[in-house]
Chain A
Amino acid sequence: MTTTAIQHTGSVLREAVILTGRSTRHWRARPVTFSVQLLFPVLIMLLMGGLLGGAIAGTTGDYIVFVVPGVLAFTVLSGIETTITAVTGDAAKTVTDRFRTLPISRGSVLLGRVFADMLTAAVELAVVSAAGLLLGWRPEGGIAAIALTYALLLWLRFGLLWAGVWIGLKAGTPEAATTTQLAIWPVAFLSTVFVDPRTMPSWLGAAAEWNPLSATASAARELLSGGELPGVTAVSDHAVLFALGWPLALTLVFVPLAIRAYRRLS
């Protein structure tokens, strides 16, 4: 019984790793698409810095220091599109059906998606961080704080990717990815990602701080600057706690929903 369970876990992992390899092959097969995807958050960072930097933070340089943690969080949010595109693409090409008729473990397709998307997220975050460093951003607060920041960012990606899998399975068509893309912007702007909530009307600032994305952005900002940052609500006093809690809530809601949707596909 135990041996079977171990064998099963072994094969799930093995299959998930093979499926992750499939995703990295996609990157290699489409280097231009992948580069555009990686550079998109950097472009947003440059645009925001150029357009809003002076107005929001006095100088563009100060704004870069402010916005890099926010753009890291934004990168994590926009990654949900990658997940949805991959899931709906496989459904449309009936590749999902092929997987579901192969003698493989039930969980490996979803786990492979998790591995591939977490790996993509790590690469995306590295690219944004490198661009930030080039523009003069310097993380402070020590190794432990930096490690915790990236862990929190990936934790949010983990929660969001299950939402992405569920949306992708439910929507089924690649067009759904486009719709979600539209939803990403309001969520990003109604947060503390690009703009300090203290500069917003108080009700808007409060709403922005309750945005799950803000929790991670604020936590990253605090951890990477090595000090408390004032906000407008109690949320900002416990940014790290919320950055742990929101993704946990997403995970608890969307993991069962996604698994159920996958099982009930027909």
Chain B
Amino acid sequence: MDLQANPRGSICARAVRKTYPGREKPSLAGVDLLVDAGRVCALLGANGAGKTTLVRILTTLTGQDSGTVSVNGWDVVRDPARVRASIGVVGQYAALDEVLTARENLELFARLIGLSRAAARSRAAELLEQSGLGEYAGQRVSGFSGGMRRRLDLVTSMITRPAVLLIDEPTTGLDPVARRTIWAAVRSLADHGSTVLLTTQYLEEADELADDVVILREGTVVATGTPSDLKALVGEPRMELREPTLEDVYLHLHTGSTAA
């Protein structure tokens, strides 16, 4: 077939174009993206760069105008059901039922994908444990903080034990402490062997989590490489004495140590 040599667990997009109806400017103007199995790739770009659009195409939510996209070896247009069976999706906003408790949310989605009542219960317990939200299991999501929602959302996306995880801006709007908790969560998912594509507006986040970085600007890939490749592109590292930022102060107060 028309797939790469080893498609299992990988993400492949070729010449993807997308212009929303009624818009003149394309949101994606011929994007190529390749993420090998088991790698963590950060799609870095400012607001409006086209990150969410690409994620929605990769997750079968939106169709591209042209170009081919495959995830885990399956074409998103021809085999959307198989793509869905192999991905975990974390959208830009936590997709949770606010009225239900954390445990009820996990059990609902676990039951939906075919687990028995008992299996759903134990899967939910396992994921709650993994998210560190065990003690809040019986509480309604409507009372959760942004960071707690994100963590629950992350583990909810793991319910299918996906080979590929797609995460849209996991830490936007979170405080630095919550951000680091999410980073740890993403890293542990990656350590379990999942392929991860995450989008972010923060260079620091890409540097922290990613093996590879793809920089997207106005619907076009402008740079690809490892974080150190990209840093080298900017030039020799300079020793710089800088004033502590508010983030440093905030982290210091929370952890009682000096943040790097």
Contact = CB atoms under 8 A, between A and B. Distances in A.
- Which of A94, A98, A266 has the most chain B CB atoms closer than 10 A to its own CB? A98
A108 to B, nearest CB: 8
Contact of A103 (B85, B96, B99): B85
Q: Secondary structure of the B side of the interface? A: loop
Contacts of B146: none
A93 B95 contact: yes
Given A98-B91, A102-B84, A103-B81, A93 B96 contact: yes
A87 B61 CA distance: 17
Given A22-B97, A93-B93, A95-B95, A101 B108 contact: no
B60 A30 contact: no
A86 to B, nearest CB: 11
Given A22-B108, A97-B95, A266 B61 contact: yes
Interface in A87-128: 93-95, 97-104, 108
Main secondary structure of the interface of A (DSSP, over half): helix
B87 A22 contact: no
A132 B192 CA distance: 61
Interface in A134-150: none
A266 B94 CA distance: 17
Nearest to A26: B99
A25 B100 contact: yes
A237 interface: no
Interface residues of B, number: 31
A19 interface: yes
A29 B60 contact: no
A253 B93 CA distance: 33
Interface of A: 11, 15, 18-19, 22, 25-26, 29-30, 93-95, 97-104, 108, 265-266
Contacts of A29: 99-100, 140
Nearest to A14: B114
Given A15-B112, A98-B89, A102-B112, A22 B61 contact: no
B61 A100 contact: yes
A101 B96 contact: no
Q: Which 9 residue pairs are nearest across A and B when measured between Cβ atoms? A: A98-B95, A103-B85, A266-B62, A94-B95, A101-B89, A103-B84, A18-B111, A101-B59, A29-B99
A94 B93 contact: yes
11 contacts: A15-B112, A25-B100, A93-B93, A93-B97, A94-B93, A94-B94, A95-B96, A98-B156, A102-B109, A104-B113, A266-B61
B84 A101 contact: yes
B56 interface: yes
Nearest to A15: B112
B112 A95 contact: no
